[in-house]
Amino acid sequence: MELLEERIRQQGRVLPGGVVQVDAFLNHQIDPILADAIAEEFVRRFQGERISKVLTIETSGIAFAILVALRLKVPLLFAKKRPGSNQGGAKQYTASVRSFTKGGVNTIGVSRDYLLRQDRVLVIDDFMAMGEAAEGLCSLVRQAGAALAGVGVVIEKAFQPGGDRLRAQGIRVEALARILEIGADGAIRFD
């Protein structure tokens, strides 16, 4: 997605350790016009998939996922980290997710009341690197016995194994910007 790559080139910052910081327009401050164009592109790519639910994980996937859900007119469900608090003891599907940027392992969960066997689920997230968050979300879909239409990520760090690991499982992964390489000078090369 040309518009997105252009913004990453203009406003993204490469931090030590290959972290691409897109805080200015994507995951701290968010440009809603760009976010809605991103949602439109996800909807275009997954057209005809008869999606009944959009699933994401808190926090930064929510803005994109709600815009996708609004365009599809289907509910958005977001998995919570530290599930169980304020849930009134509702039964959960859970999965363990390691975070490479923040460190540590989170348990993520969704209520069994809202992820249903008859659902066709589109997973949306902002970033994919090691793919642990997306794998966790796909695991929740499997546990519910629901169908997985695919995974849409805004930015894939294609030099890390997450996306290809999911594709190797037969999962359709659509990334709107695929970063192939970050040069020693911080230059970002896209697919």
The 10 Å CB-count burial string (b at 16+, else e) for 13-51 is ebeeeeebebeebbbeebeeebbbebbebbbebbeebeb
Which of residues 23, 164, 181, 191 is near a copy of itself by CB under 8 A? 23
- In the complex, what is the shortest distance from the CB of residue 115 to a copy of itself, in angstroms, rounded to a whole number? 9
Which of positions 139-178 make contact with a copy of itself (CB under 8 A)? none
The 10 Å CB-count burial string (b at 16+, else e) for 98-133 is eeeeeeeebbbbbbeebbeeebbbbbbbbbbbbbbb
Q: Hey, what are 191's tokens?
A: 């697919």
Which of positions 104-133 make contact with a copy of itself (CB under 8 A)? 110-111, 113-114
Residue with smaller CB distance to a copy of itself, 13 or 167: 13
Which of positions 42-101 make contact with a copy of itself (CB under 8 A)? 58-59, 62-63, 66-67, 69-70, 73-78, 80, 85-88, 90, 101
Residue with smaller CB distance to a copy of itself, 26 or 153: 26
Longest dimension (CA), the chain: 51
Which of residues 13, 50, 91, 189 is near a copy of itself by CB under 8 A? 13
Going by C-alpha positions, the residue among 104, 111, 27 that lies closest to residue 62 is: 27
Site for a copy of itself, rule CB under 8 A: 13, 15, 19, 21, 23-25, 28-33, 35-36, 58-59, 62-63, 66-67, 69-70, 73-78, 80, 85-88, 90, 101-103, 110-111, 113-114
